[in-house]
Amino acid sequence: MRRAAVIVAAAAALAFPPATGAEPPRAGIVIPSTKPGTPLLQLGYQLYAGNCSSCHGSLGEGVAPRGRAAGSGDVRAAGPPLRGVGALAADFYLRTGYMPLATPQTQPRRTRVLFSARELAALVAYVASLGNGPAIPQPRPGSVAGGQRLFTEHCAGCHQVVAQGGYLTGAVAPPLAPDSATQIAEAVRIGPYLMPRFSERTISNRQLDSIVAYVRAVDRAPNPGGWGIGRLGPVPEGIVAWLIAGVALAGCCLVFGRRRAAR
Amino acid sequence: MRRPTPRADDLALLFLGLAALCAAGFVVAFALAVPHRTQLLGVALGLAFAFLAAACVVFDRRLLDTSEREELYPEPHVEEQEAVAEIVEEAGSGITRRRLLTMGGGVAAGSLGLALLAPALSLGRLFDTTPLLETPWRRGRRLVDGAGRPLRAADIERDAFYTAFPEGADRETLAAPVVVVRLDPASVRLPPERRGWAPQGILAYSKICTHAGCAIALYRKPTDPAIEPAPAFVCPCHYSTFDPATGGTVIFGPAGRPLPQLPLTIDRSGVLCAAGTFSGPVGPSWWGVRIWKARSR
């Protein structure tokens, strides 16, 4: 009798899934229950305590790694200090979905942002309040031609000349197409994960505007011939050429070759 | 079932000759520094193979007799046999068609073989290695950036990397460009004979990978050194990875020897200067590279 009830309940759950909006549920983050009208900094503090403090410390002092993970599924918290990183870094890491990170040893990758706009603003304000740090940059229009020169010099080594991204040993240089102008400017100043950090002495704010202009322009660049082939240059183009040449060679063999007459 | 087509052997010979000519053209284009050399080399080698293939097709379709004789041999005629023997004897003294074709094939294959061997000349010098060892760096030569401005030690920041050139020297030579980084002095672990090569933890290495000679354009640095991989230079061509903290040792990839390090000093005005030349020959390795030392030009 009980078994039948369980089966009925399971069938009902399958037939009538819980009503959801367009977005899947926000799993994996802690949303504190706060009264409407909670001050932004207060909300940010609560969100920080729930989602960030295990790796970045309760006061943003950072957590040094202690010991190795005890096995699969075990996560040892560790993370850099956040004092003085400012609104710039918080805005970048949260709006790209780089943070929160499932395991501290992995490279942060672009994921779905789980926080609402107000929660993001609250967290950014709270992290900025931890210490004196740079504000969120506001890129202005720049020169695409100058940006190409600078991008080739500073960025293309890893991100590839049309910003399609690439690989290093131990890291992935992500493609830059999904990044907003602000996020590109932020990443240059932060150097997320294994990326070098470029200060205003190496790349001035004016030069950064041009780099941003170039990255945004190259994303909309047309593909001559109609087929981008990843826009990665000679390697994929060579593979395509080999495929075409291979088919042509096989065709030649069919035309000129002959079978031995069957006895 | 086909019988040989008359005059097809001329066609096969023509194709073999053209293949040999194209292959010879490849060798000539390789030896001379002609404009658009890469394209010419490709066209010459491609045509050589195409003509060889055409000769094979002609040989197969027109010259190879695959017809089978089914009628019985006729009764032998003594006079005819004598005449045939005479013809065969005469033919043996001259060049038969068959022998001409074989020779044509040999010439085509020989020049194609030469064309394929010619690039081996690029593998490196065996005897006169002096030009490979000379560098524009010597004690006291200042480091300048891409715009020609002297590079000051105070300008070199942690977590960034810089490309520098020798002041007043040709930048296009292999040994000219260096990469400069600043590490935490406590993390620098150079061999004992390189004591003092990294003032304030600033290190300079040749920018040319020791594997295939690509420019090392990738530098990775950890945001949180406690949990992320240590700083390293990565070559974009084959992912050879070099550790700047230990004297440019190879930690990953096909490179066979460390990145040559340039000893640095800081002059009285705070500008970075070379304190000598590289720790080893710059650029891709060649046979016997480890015997030699880099020298100032």
Residue B16 belongs to some domain of the structure: yes
- Which of A96-105, B199-208, B271-280 shows the lowest per-residue confidence on average (mean pLDDT)? A96-105
Q: DSSP label at B147? A: T
Residues B89 and B144 in one domain: no
A241 compared with A234, residue with greater pLDDT = A241
Q: What is the mean pLDDT of residues A155-181?
A: 89
Asked if residues B126 and B287 have their Cβ atoms less than 8 Å apart, the reply is yes
Q: DSSP label at B155? A: G
A10 compared with A111, residue with greater pLDDT = A111
A169/B157 Cβ within 8 A: no
Could you tell me the residue range of the domain that residue A170 belongs to?
A: 144-219
By a Cβ cutoff of 8 Å, what residues of chain B touch chain A?
1, 53, 57, 60-61, 146, 155, 157-162, 217-224, 226-229, 232, 234, 236, 239, 241, 252-253
Indicate if the pLDDT at residue B16 is higher than 80: yes
Q: Specify the CATH number for the domain of residue B160.
A: 2.102.10.10
pLDDT in tens, B139-176: 999 999 988 999 999 999 988 999 999 999 898 889 99
Q: What is the mean pLDDT of residues B113-121?
A: 87
Indicate if the pLDDT at residue A1 is higher than 80: no
A128 compared with B59, residue with greater pLDDT = A128
A156/B57 Cβ within 8 A: no
Q: Kindly give the residue spans of alpha helices, DSSP state H, lying in chain B.
A: 8-31, 37-58, 78-93, 97-117, 130-133
How many structural domains comprise chain A? 2
Residue A253 belongs to some domain of the structure: no
Q: What is the mean pLDDT of residues B195-203?
A: 94
Residues B194 and B140 in one domain: yes
Residue B250 belongs to some domain of the structure: yes
How many structural domains comprise chain B? 2
Residue B3 belongs to some domain of the structure: no
pLDDT of A15 reads 55
Residues B119 and B230 in one domain: no
Contacts B158 to A, Cβ<8 Å:
197
Indicate if the pLDDT at residue A10 is higher than 50: yes
Asked if residues A241 and A172 have their Cβ atoms less than 8 Å apart, the reply is no
A156/B217 Cβ within 8 A: yes
Find the residue in A nearest to B253 (Cα): A169
A75 touches chain B (CB under 8 A): no
Residue A187 belongs to some domain of the structure: yes
Size of interface A-B (CB pairs under 8 A): 84
Contacts B221 to A, Cβ<8 Å:
191, 194-197
B220/B242 Cα distance (integer angstroms) = 10
Of B226, B292, B225, B222, nearest to B257 by C-alpha is: B292
Q: Specify the CATH number for the domain of residue A198.
A: 1.10.760.10
pLDDT of B227 reads 83
Residues B173 and B276 in one domain: yes
A145 compared with B217, residue with greater pLDDT = A145
Picking from A78, A157, A168, the nearest residue to B226 by CB comes out as A78
Residue at which a domain ends, from A93, A111, A136: A136
Residues B95 and B172 in one domain: no
Amino acid at B245: A
Exposed (0-12), middle (13-18) or buried (19+): which is A215, by Cβ within 10 Å? buried
Residues B97 and B170 in one domain: no
A80/A59 Cα distance (integer angstroms) = 12
Residues B240 and B97 in one domain: no
Residue B269 belongs to some domain of the structure: yes
Residue A214 belongs to some domain of the structure: yes
A254 compared with B248, residue with greater pLDDT = B248
Could you tell me the residue range of the domain that residue B136 belongs to?
A: 130-296
Residues B107 and B199 in one domain: no
Residues B105 and B142 in one domain: no
pLDDT of A217 reads 92
Q: Which residues of B8-27 are buried (b: 16+ CB within 10 A; e: fewer)?
A: ebebbbebbebbbbbbbbbb
ipTM exceeds 0.90: no
pLDDT of B1 reads 46
Picking from B227, B236, B252, the nearest residue to A78 by CB comes out as B227
Residues A191 and A90 in one domain: no
Structure tokens at A244: 């075409």
CA count, 13 A, side-chain hemisphere, A118 = 9
Of A101, A105, A28, A98, nearest to A69 by C-alpha is: A105
Query: pLDDT-derived band of residue B90, with 50, 70 and 90 as boundaries?
Result: low
Residue A232 belongs to some domain of the structure: no
Residue whose tokens read 């020798």: B166
Residue A196 belongs to some domain of the structure: yes
Q: What is the mean pLDDT of residues A174-202?
A: 92
A69/A102 Cα distance (integer angstroms) = 14
Q: Please, what is the average pLDDT of chain B? A: 87
Residues A153 and A103 in one domain: no
Indicate if the pLDDT at residue A17 is higher than 60: no
Residues A30 and A98 in one domain: yes
A80/B224 Cβ within 8 A: yes
Indicate if the pLDDT at residue A33 is higher than 60: yes
Residue at which a domain ends, from A115, A136, A157: A136
pLDDT of A9 reads 58
pLDDT of B219 reads 92
Query: pLDDT-derived band of residue B121, with 50, 70 and 90 as boundaries?
Result: confident
Query: pLDDT-derived band of residue B133, with 50, 70 and 90 as boundaries?
Result: confident
End-to-end CA distance of chain B: 72
Residue B2 belongs to some domain of the structure: no
Contacts of B96 (CB under 8 A, 6+ apart): none
Residues B135 and B97 in one domain: no
pLDDT of B81 reads 80
Residue A86 belongs to some domain of the structure: yes
